[in-house]
Structures are given as C-alpha cells and as structure tokens.
Amino acid sequence: MRLRSRLAQMLALLLVASSAHAQVGFDRPGADYSNFVVRPADPAICAARCEREGRCRAWTFQYPTADNPNGVCWLKNTVPTRTKAPCCVSGVRGAGVIEPRGGPIEYSIDRYGGDLRNLELPPDPTGGACKTACEADSKCRAWTYLRPGYAGPAARCFLKNQLKPPRRRPCCISGVVR
C-alpha cells in the first residue's frame, strides 16, 4: 500500500514537472502573495526563491521593459493556469527554469563579440526581427537580440560577422544563420 502511494506521488510530481516544459512566454496570473524586484534580472533567481519559500507553489518572472528597467518576480500560493504572455517566464515549484532548447533560436544566450553592427528595434520577445535582419545581410553569421531594460530602455539587435561561443545570459536571445 505504501509503495503504491509513493508511486502515485512520484507520478504526480512528474506530471507537474512535465507541464512546465514551455515556460518562456507564459504568465500564471493571480494567486500572488509576494512580488519583488530581481537584480540582476534573471528568472532563475525567481525560481530559486520559490523553492526556498514553503508556501510558494508557482512563480512568474516579468522581464525588464522600456517602462520598467527591473525584472519582477511574482510568487504564488497556488498553481494558476498558464496563459501566453511574451513578457514573462513562469513555472511551478520544483520545475526550475526550463527554456526551449535546440532549433535556430537560443533563449537566454548571448553571443558576445564579433559585432558587425547593431541597431535599435521595437521590443520583440521572440527576437524574430533581429534574426530577419541577420538573414538579410550577407556578411552576418549570427545575431543577438538584447531585451529592452537590460542595457537601456530600447531593444537592440547585434549582427555578428564571427561565430562566438554561446554564454548563458537571460538578457538575450541569439541564433546562428550561416
């Protein structure tokens, strides 16, 4: 009987963790019991704080914006339903920050250096406009989109003529095109 109960608990935990696969681009509105500014603006700090607080069941991290240059963490005492929101990263306690991996878009990656040129862009939580600018320039091999609020109020696109190693930084979205 105990073994069956333990297996049921483990299965429930796996289901909760697996429901957190696509955390980037989602909010969990409601059930907030606390919020605070996150410096440096990294969603992993928000997830870690939820892990340390006994009443936290879920969290949402809001990236800095042109209007608010700080990241903000919202801790929740229940697990609200996810809703699409490009401003945010959300998760449940125990799942940590799970960002999309593989494919042409590198979330929370900066390819520092090797800059060909940079340009200001309107905010774009996907980095798609920066990728398109790189694809249109025959000298561009890679790109990094810097979210607004990390190094000033505007979003910036850095086009690269050299491939540099990826570095984990929540400020950025990058990709390689050639």
Q: The domain that contains 47 carries what CATH number?
A: 3.50.4.10
Confidence of residue 2 (pLDDT cuts 50, 70, 90): low
Number of separate domains in the chain: 2
Q: What is the mean pLDDT of the segment spanning 119-126? A: 89
Q: What is the DSSP string of 38-76?
A: ESS--HHHHHHHHHH-TT--EEEEE---SS--SEEEEEE
Is the pLDDT at 125 greater than 70? The verdict is yes
In this structure, the answer to whether residues 26 and 88 fall within a common structural domain is yes
In this structure, the answer to whether residues 134 and 157 fall within a common structural domain is yes
List pLDDT tens digits, range 57-93.
Answer: 999 999 998 888 899 999 999 999 999 998 999 999 9
Task: Provide, rounded to the nearest whole percent, the portion of the chain with pLDDT above 90.
Answer: 65
Q: What is the mean pLDDT of the segment spanning 98-112? A: 82
In this structure, the answer to whether residues 123 and 75 fall within a common structural domain is no
Q: Which residue has the higher pLDDT, 100 or 157?
A: 157
In this structure, the answer to whether residues 168 and 113 fall within a common structural domain is yes
In this structure, the answer to whether residues 120 and 60 fall within a common structural domain is no
Euclidean distance between CA atoms 105 and 131, whole angstroms? 9
List pLDDT tens digits, range 143-155.
Answer: 999 998 898 888 9
Is the pLDDT at 159 greater than 50? The verdict is yes
List pLDDT tens digits, range 26-43.
Answer: 999 999 999 999 989 999
- Report the length, in residues, of the chain: 178
Domain membership of residue 162 as a residue range: 106-176
In this structure, the answer to whether residues 88 and 121 fall within a common structural domain is no
Boundary of a domain, candidates 92, 120, 153: 92
Q: What is the mean pLDDT of the segment spanning 167-173? A: 93
Give pLDDT, residue 157: 98
In this structure, the answer to whether residues 158 and 112 fall within a common structural domain is yes
